[in-house]
Amino acid sequence: MLATLTVLAISYILGSIPSAIWIGKITKGIDIRHHGSGNMGTTNTFRVLGWPAGTTVFALDFLKGFVASAFVSMYAWQLFDGPLAPPNWDVDAFLKISCGVVAVIGHMFPLFAKFKGGKGAATACGMLFGIEPISIGISTAVFVLTILLTRYVSLASILGSFLYPINLLVMRLAFGMEKAVDWSMIIFGTLIATGIIYKHKSNIKRLLSGTESKVGSSKQKEAVEPEPQLEKVET
């Protein structure tokens, strides 16, 4: 029990690392929370700071989830069972999911940013890669393709999340991958996708109204480098 609590705490702290805030301050000297939508996630970073910073933040947020589910979870066995102790695979799967989910929660409600974080898409993507890479790999390809075609990061996140549980279902039913994909994983994937899409509800409203900003749009540049206001001169 103590080992499990320890790795969950590590996962939460890992998820709480404010990647977007750090990159905003390093690249532009700004706090990303004071620009764009005010969200410290990948979508707002792409919108406000553009491709290089957005890609960096996506990679860092992705790694938070991946490292938590694929590696931090294994320390539960090593802390108290000795180095490289062989895991019980059923429990191991539970630990991978648990550590990954806690990292996503840390990203959404970060300890280092007054518990106001991002929407969790990139961190959830990394977590799911650490658990089962094929289905989330397909969703990631859709994510990248959607950005390239539309320049809407929010739409890419929504479509990639929506497809994830469908990918799992197809893998199990159409390709006979029952051992790799059980029903609990499909249910878990559905819950994750639902949560991410719900966190994008404001983006969905802007997409439907045609007011959502695109990567590289003039609105983003204005958010970072507003036009200087001319001072009024008394005559």
Q: Provide the whole-model pTM.
A: 0.75
- Does residue 32 sit within a domain? yes
Q: Which of 68, 99, 131 is the last residue of a domain?
A: 131
Same domain membership, residue 164 and residue 73: no
- Does residue 47 sit within a domain? yes
DSSP secondary structure of 173-235? HTS--TTTS-HHHHHHHHHHHHHHHHHTHHHHHHHHHT-PPPTT-HHHHHHHSPPPPPPP---
Q: Which of 102, 131, 160 is the last residue of a domain?
A: 131
| Angle (nearest 5°) at CA 91 between 86 and 92 | 60
Alpha-carbon span 118 to 143, nearest angstrom = 17
- Does residue 226 sit within a domain? no
Same domain membership, residue 153 and residue 92: no
The answer to whether the beta carbons of residues 20 and 45 sit under 8 Å apart is yes
Same domain membership, residue 125 and residue 137: no
The reported pLDDT for the residue numbered 230 is 39
Which range of 47-51, 102-106, 190-194 scores highest in mean pLDDT? It is: 102-106
Quick one: pLDDT band at residue 47, thresholds 50, 70, 90?
confident
**How many residues in the chain?**
235
- Does residue 227 sit within a domain? no
Closest CA to 131 of 157, 112, 104: 104
Same domain membership, residue 99 and residue 12: yes
Percent of the chain beyond pLDDT 70?
Answer: 84
Alpha-carbon span 61 to 125, nearest angstrom = 9
Q: Which of 106, 131, 156 is the last residue of a domain?
A: 131
Mean pLDDT for the chain overall: 84
Looking at residue 35, the DSSP 8-state letter turns out to be S
Same domain membership, residue 63 and residue 83: yes
Residue 155 is part of which domain span?
132-212
pLDDT for 226 beyond 70: no
The reported pLDDT for the residue numbered 233 is 39
